[in-house]
Amino acid sequence: MSIAEMCIDNRAAAGGACVLQALAYHSLSTDAGVCSPLALPSSLLDSVRIVTEPLTRISPLVIAFVLGIAGVALAAGAYAIGAASESLAAAFGAYALATSVFSMLVARGLEARRSGTPSVSVPENEPTVATPTAAAHTSGRPPVSEAQCGSANATTGGNELRDSLTGLATRELLRDRLNHALTRAHRHERPVAMIVVDIDGFRSLNDALGYPVGDRILAAVATRLGTTLRAGDTAARLGADEFALLLEDMADESNFVQVSDRVGEALARPITVDGREIAVSACIGIAQARAGEDADDILRNADSALAAAKRRGRGACEVFSERIRASLVDRVQLETELRRAVDARTFDIEYQPIVILQSRRIAGVEALLRWRHPARGDIPPSTFLPVADELGLSPSLGKWVLEQACVQVKSWQDQLPSARSLTLTVNVSRTQLRQTTLVHDVAGALTLSRLDPRRLVLEVSDAVLLDDAGTALARLQALKALGVRIAIDDFGARHAALHQLPRIPVDILKIDKAFIDRVGRTGAGVSVAHVVLALGKSMRLRTVAEGIEAEEQVTELLRLKCEFGQGMLFSRPLSATAAGVLLRADRC
């Protein structure tokens, strides 16, 4: 810890302690107003550090007083035994008293200067937090993005070294301590690591419960993180819902992972706010300091590991490696290429038939987006669609798919009189469903193509019903008012969607492929499929079995009274031209 940290944290030692602490570093902090490079033997520096570090944990006023008295007593003793002359003893005693008084004045002055800022005083080695102050709730922050959610008090400027909501270190103080830790680690060859923690879905918590509750959740998380640390480690708040833990003098990498496990366990317990239990999870990124790396390198590596963990899903943990670095470089390149492809509309739309199981006649088609990259080849939708979601490209891309597919199906209906009842199914992503423009976009596509709204089926994942039930329900009701039909995709994969079903304006249930794979082979798949089919029948909903690949599956599904199906058994996804040929052959 530098002298500036000692002063600002109200832990400044009095004169003698300040001098000793200064000797423990090669240069004094410019924040203290002193700049004098020192070059002392390593053994002396370590000895001084052993003496001075405990002093930083004691009240500065007590230290100043005790050192002043001790100085006077030492001077008097030296004079009494004849070890010092009267003038020398008097000068030494006067110096001790002056240093003591000066230190107390500095400590009081700094404390008074900071008294106007709402903050929480926290011991350096055991970060704890208090309930957020009223200022945290009335700060007038705009609810714009997740990066701004939950805190007007995150970090209020480069001169603030403590986060006023949680009492933890800010990014500036963390970087300073990390630099000192790296210096000590280089000298003693003891590893240093950084753990970055990001709360899963914090934006949704803020939206659902409000910012005051969000602030209290952040404060509770900070408290729990502090309990996972040893004396000497540092906890910091980097952003709205992002925290960091600086770990020093660890034996090996396994110790870092053990700390991350303790963090996961600490956050696994529900947080109680106003009698309400709130479940919280977090993704974790870990980076160990390597030779030649500075503080910014380590923080960047920890952020990279965190990004990799977040792509894996809630509660994931990743340790930084060269594999992650290479993956991030590739990801940046993919993002750039995806933006260009969206701007240029260099995608293809394929159509997979949905058939009547009894007759094998085509009842409809599902539009599927394809990206054939000139260098990478065919990129699976499961790879590029999540990236498009994160980049905010899904609404634009989804609108284009909807318009193109509606125009194509309307063209088939006009060319083939027997295909006038052909339906079109188009997937709507979670991001699209959140967009207030979605209803307008669908209405525009219907107007542009002149497609009968009853022939358009909008397919949403049942995962949407778990995350944004209120928003999703309102949007689906508005879409239903246009005359289109609503399908729930992969139904049954998440049992939590069952209790939402009666409230949703749904027309079609698509049975998850995982259950269809087991139909005709084991009893488990038949049981789940039977339950979904029975549910659909009781609610007068159409049911579609996805991913059919074998005749025995069709036989079993017909026995279970399933009407419609799609899968490779009937046809793979086809280009518009090939699909048109298949439709003409089917309708002859």
Q: What's 299's domain CATH number?
A: 3.30.70.270
Q: How far is CA 320 from CA 288, 289, 407, 531, in A?
A: 8, 10, 47, 45
- Strand boundaries in 384-455, DSSP class E: 423-427
195 contact partners, CB below 8 Å, separation of at least 6: 244, 245, 247, 256, 259, 260, 263, 284, 285, 286, 302
The stretch 303-317 carries a mean pLDDT of: 89
Residue whose pair of structure tokens reads 């060859």 in the numeric block: 189
Our count of domains for the chain comes to 3
pLDDT at residue 78, as a whole number: 73
Of the pLDDT bands very low, low, confident and very high (cuts 50, 70, 90), residue 422 is very high
Is 412 contained in some domain?
A: yes
Nearest to 170 by CA among 183, 157, 184: 157
The stretch 544-568 carries a mean pLDDT of: 92
Residue type, 69: I
pLDDT at residue 143, as a whole number: 34
Residue 302 and residue 318: Cα distance in Å, rounded?
9
Helix (H) or strand (E) holding 384: helix 381-390
The stretch 485-506 carries a mean pLDDT of: 74
Is 328 contained in some domain?
A: no
For residue 402, the cross-strand partners are none
10 Å CB burial of residue 241 (0-12, 13-18, 19+) is: buried
Residue 577 and residue 581: Cα distance in Å, rounded?
6
Q: How far is CA 28 from CA 38, 232, 339, in A?
A: 8, 20, 49
pTM, rounded to two decimals: 0.60
Of the pLDDT bands very low, low, confident and very high (cuts 50, 70, 90), residue 518 is confident
pLDDT at residue 245, as a whole number: 93
Residue 330 and residue 26: Cα distance in Å, rounded?
42
What are the tokens at 451?
């497609």
Question: Is it the case that residue 264 has pLDDT exceeding 70?
Answer: yes
> Across 257-266, 276-285, 510-519, which has the greatest mean pLDDT?
276-285
What are the tokens at 455?
């022939």
Indicate whether 417 and 303 sit together in one domain. Answer: no
Is 480 contained in some domain?
A: yes
Nearest to 242 by CA among 203, 296, 191: 203
Write down which residue in 85, 114, 143 finishes a domain: 114
Is 420 contained in some domain?
A: yes
pLDDT at residue 137, as a whole number: 36
Question: Is it the case that residue 9 has pLDDT exceeding 50?
Answer: no
Nearest to 387 by CA among 337, 428, 451, 315: 337
Question: Of the given ranges (64-68, 96-100, 136-140, 347-351), which has the lowest mean pLDDT?
Answer: 136-140
The stretch 254-261 carries a mean pLDDT of: 77
Residue 423 and residue 48: Cα distance in Å, rounded?
81
Helix residue ranges, H only, 164-319:
171-188, 202-209, 211-227, 253-268, 295-312
pLDDT at residue 95, as a whole number: 75
Instruction: Specify the DSSP class assigned to residue 169.
Output: B
Indicate whether 291 and 402 sit together in one domain. Answer: no
113 contact partners, CB below 8 Å, separation of at least 6: none
Write down which residue in 61, 79, 114 finishes a domain: 114
Residue 419 and residue 411: Cα distance in Å, rounded?
10
For residue 467, give the 3-state DSSP assignment. Answer: helix
What are the tokens at 308?
């990799």
Give percent above pLDDT 90 in the chain: 37
Is 209 contained in some domain?
A: yes
Of the pLDDT bands very low, low, confident and very high (cuts 50, 70, 90), residue 134 is very low
Indicate whether 61 and 170 sit together in one domain. Answer: no
Residue 309 and residue 314: Cα distance in Å, rounded?
8
The stretch 268-297 carries a mean pLDDT of: 89
Helix residue ranges, H only, 416-522:
430-434, 438-449, 464-467, 469-480, 513-516
pLDDT at residue 573, as a whole number: 96
CA 218 to mean position of chain CA atoms:
14
For residue 457, give the 3-state DSSP assignment. Answer: strand
| Dihedral sign of CA atoms 432, 437, 443, 447 in order | negative
For residue 174, give the 3-state DSSP assignment. Answer: helix
Helix residue ranges, H only, 240-367:
253-268, 295-312, 322-344
The stretch 544-550 carries a mean pLDDT of: 92
Of the pLDDT bands very low, low, confident and very high (cuts 50, 70, 90), residue 144 is very low
Indicate whether 292 and 358 sit together in one domain. Answer: no
> Across 14-18, 145-149, 273-277, 398-402, which has the greatest mean pLDDT?
398-402
Question: Is it the case that residue 486 has pLDDT exceeding 90?
Answer: yes
Tell me how many helices (H) and strands (E) the chain has.
Answer: 22, 16
> Across 24-33, 45-54, 272-281, which has the greatest mean pLDDT?
272-281
Is 551 contained in some domain?
A: no
pLDDT at residue 434, as a whole number: 85
Other beta carbons within 10 angstroms of residue 277's beta carbon come to 9
10 Å CB burial of residue 236 (0-12, 13-18, 19+) is: buried
> Across 80-94, 312-326, 476-490, which has the greatest mean pLDDT?
476-490
Question: Is it the case that residue 364 has pLDDT exceeding 70?
Answer: yes
Of the pLDDT bands very low, low, confident and very high (cuts 50, 70, 90), residue 471 is confident
Indicate whether 169 and 99 sit together in one domain. Answer: no
Is 126 contained in some domain?
A: no
Q: What is the CATH number of the domain that holds 369?
A: 3.20.20.450
Indicate whether 239 and 141 sit together in one domain. Answer: yes
pLDDT at residue 138, as a whole number: 31
Residue whose pair of structure tokens reads 């995962």 in the numeric block: 463
Residue 28 and residue 332: Cα distance in Å, rounded?
41
Residue whose pair of structure tokens reads 């423009």 in the numeric block: 437
Length of the chain: 588
Indicate whether 153 and 69 sit together in one domain. Answer: no
Q: How far is CA 89 from CA 14, 64, 67, 71, 170, in A?
A: 20, 19, 16, 10, 45
Nearest to 444 by CA among 499, 481, 487, 402: 402
Is 332 contained in some domain?
A: no
pLDDT at residue 15, as a whole number: 39
Indicate whether 417 and 489 sit together in one domain. Answer: yes
Indicate whether 223 and 367 sit together in one domain. Answer: no
Residue 134 and residue 237: Cα distance in Å, rounded?
19
Question: Is it the case that residue 248 has pLDDT exceeding 70?
Answer: yes
Indicate whether 96 and 188 sit together in one domain. Answer: no
249 contact partners, CB below 8 Å, separation of at least 6: 185, 188, 190, 191, 192, 232
> Across 58-67, 213-222, 401-410, which has the greatest mean pLDDT?
401-410
Q: What is the pLDDT of residues 184-197, one digit of tens each?
A: 887 777 788 899 99
Question: Is it the case that residue 378 has pLDDT exceeding 90?
Answer: yes
Write down which residue in 114, 143, 168 finishes a domain: 114
Residue 331 and residue 446: Cα distance in Å, rounded?
36
Of the pLDDT bands very low, low, confident and very high (cuts 50, 70, 90), residue 256 is confident
Of the pLDDT bands very low, low, confident and very high (cuts 50, 70, 90), residue 157 is very low
Range of the domain at 272: 134-320
Question: Is it the case that residue 405 has pLDDT exceeding 60?
Answer: yes
Indicate whether 490 and 353 sit together in one domain. Answer: yes
Indicate whether 351 and 494 sit together in one domain. Answer: yes
In our burial notation (b when 16+ CB lie closer than 10 A, e otherwise), range 317-347 reads bbbbeeebeeebeebeebbebbeebbeeeeb
Residue 580 and residue 577: Cα distance in Å, rounded?
5
